[in-house]
Amino acid sequence: MATIRLGDTAPDFTAETSQGTLNFYDYLGDGWGILFSHPADFTPVCTTELGTAAKFKDEFDKRNVKMIALSVDGAASHNEWIKDINETQNTQVNFPIIADEDRKVSDLYDMIHPNADDTLTVRSVFIIAPDKTVKLILTYPASTGRNFYELLRVIDSLQLTAYHKVATPANWEHGEKVVVSPSIPTDEAKEMFAGGVEEIKPYLRLTPDPTA
């Protein structure tokens, strides 16, 4: 059983999906990706999650993030379930759902936790950078639906901090002040950040969001 940690290279795979056979790396291309698993088709919480994900597609597109979901059921089942999702959630599922009947992808990404359930996947989330490294891992129990606003917030933070020498504080939202990287001396930071540097403590310095 694989164990994936932050910074690891996301395993590549080719799988059947609701949109035909796809290679994961080819699907992601040179953008960001979000892979999220669901315990099973025709389950209530998953139905709301996939409907919500579909409604968020424009927001993920703005961030150059491609979504792909997974369930241990087959492609024919997925396509029937998608009809229910579209009907009940008033949307159109607009991303592929992996048909992982043989558990190959689930095992690659350690999505089956036997002490929770020995056959169904937990609600895993993996955010993957353009270089195919894993930048975030979240694991929810089957009974708790995910917060897609939080996933967008995390992607905003990951993309900001990938290209600027900053970190984001608790409850940060796009446009709010960010933390200057501790590795940058204050004098250098004041030259680097045009918006100025607010020194609260020598190790806690804030600057306006450089992308806002």
Per cent of the chain over pLDDT 70 is 94
Cα–Cα–Cα angle for 102, 105, 110, nearest 5°? 110
Confidence of residue 107 (pLDDT cuts 50, 70, 90): confident
pLDDT in tens, 60-102: 999 999 999 999 899 999 999 999 999 999 999 999 999 998 8
Which architecture characterizes domain 14-146 according to CATH? 3-Layer(aba) Sandwich (3.40)
46 is catalytic: yes
pLDDT in tens, 15-71: 999 999 999 999 999 999 999 998 889 999 999 999 999 999 999 999 999 999 999
Cα–Cα–Cα angle for 122, 149, 126, nearest 5°? 40
Question: What Å distances lie between residue 24 and 35, 67, 96, 117, CA to CA?
Answer: 10, 11, 11, 26
Domain chopping of the chain, boundaries: 14-146, 164-207
Give the pTM: 0.90
pLDDT at 113: 57
pLDDT at 120: 58
pLDDT in tens, 4-16: 999 999 999 999 9
Q: Residues 34, 46, 68, 166: which is the catalytic one?
A: 46
Cβ-in-10-Å burial (0-12, 13-18, 19+) of 91 comes to: middle
